Amino acid sequence: MMRKPVTLLLFVATLAAIVSFTGKEPKTPPRDGRQKGVLSTIVVDAGHGGPARGAKGLISYEADIALAISLKLGQRIQEAFPDTRVVYTRTSDTVFGVNVDARTANRMRAELANEVKGDLFLSIHCNATPQKAGGWYAKRTIGHTTKTITVGKGAKKRKKTVKVPITENYWVKNERHGTETYIWAADRSGVKSTFINPEEGGEFSGDSTHTPTPLDMNSPEARIRAQLYEKKYFGKSLMLANLVEEEFAKGGRASGGVKQRNWEQIWVLQATGMPSILVETGFITNEEEEKYLNSEEGQSEVVESIITALRRYKESLEGTGTKAVDTTTTPRAF
């Protein structure tokens, strides 16, 4: 469906404002032929926003927690990696300064990430169960009693003794908790490549002195190169996602591991032409975890786990890490 003209105009206007908010200009290959940094631009995406509030807990909404953590994460990225530019998909309750539906907002997020040529897309969310936040009352049978009832009609009417269950209501606590990190589904090969703009002389050229130039996207060479990038981006996404979950586990969080989602469920993972992950920082429907995610301590711990994972990820890409990262294990698809 074609987006309304007014939405396009708002997006163009707010895109310039958001990029200027980062305080740094995009990096271009230096004249001496050196490659740009492996993390020159990181796009930090606070999930939901605007009319899409996300999952609801007992005291908060997912959109508010995601924004608070994303702003802290962006600040820490700039502190930990001074040469990295941080671009936010939103810095307030609204998305790009306007109230748009979730589907339109997600397309605009991906377009922004691709426009600024991000090296990494980090999306921050909270998880939830279908059941009521905090807990709910359920009914169970605790015994039986007998009851005499009348059955039949007319001459066939008679008394009958039947067993009747004795039930009680009891409180079921919503105990699901922990983290999960998602990447796009590997079995949908070719989907992400349609959003990748391959460059001649890029990371597959083997020539570090060659300045990248755009290719004709309709050419066979461009399509093949885009598919190569897609496979490489999948490996990088899987690496970082594993590192993030490792750091959560080290910090004492229950880790649900790395999982895959198809593009209809988490569209921005496919529509961003770069490595991309979506971090479920915890279950907002769990009373204790919701309080943790709303606290300064909890948000800081989440951010530091991601920062440590980013540092290990960067070192691995640069070949300066002390321990190799295993990217051969493919996560389950859900």
**For 75-90, what is each residue's pLDDT tens digit?**
999 999 999 999 999 9
Are 270 and 184 in contact by the 8 Å Cβ rule? The answer is: yes
Strand partners, 170: 138
How far is C-alpha 332 from the chain's CA centre?
A: 16
Average pLDDT over residues 92-108: 84
Helix 102-115 and helix 5-21: axis angle, to 10°?
A: 50
Residues 165/166/168/173 CA torsion (nearest 10 deg): -40
Give dist(CA 52, CA 69) in Å, integer.
Answer: 17
**pLDDT of amino acid 12:** 45
Q: Which tokens is 308 given?
A: 């440590």
Where in the chain is CATH 3.40.630.40? 17-133+175-333
CATH homologous superfamily, domain 17-133+175-333? Zn-dependent exopeptidases (3.40.630.40)
pTM of the model: 0.78
Give dist(CA 38, CA 313) in Å, integer.
Answer: 10
What value, to the nearest 5°, has the Cα angle with vertex 156 and ends 150 and 159?
A: 25
**pLDDT of amino acid 64:** 97
Report the amino acid identity of residue 16. Answer: A
What is the tens place of the pLDDT at every residue in 246-255?
999 999 999 9
What value, to the nearest 5°, has the Cα angle with vertex 318 and ends 19 and 191?
A: 60
- Range with the lowest mean pLDDT among 69-78, 93-102, 202-211, 261-270? 202-211
Give dist(CA 154, CA 19) in Å, integer.
Answer: 84
Q: Which tokens is 23 given?
A: 């305080």
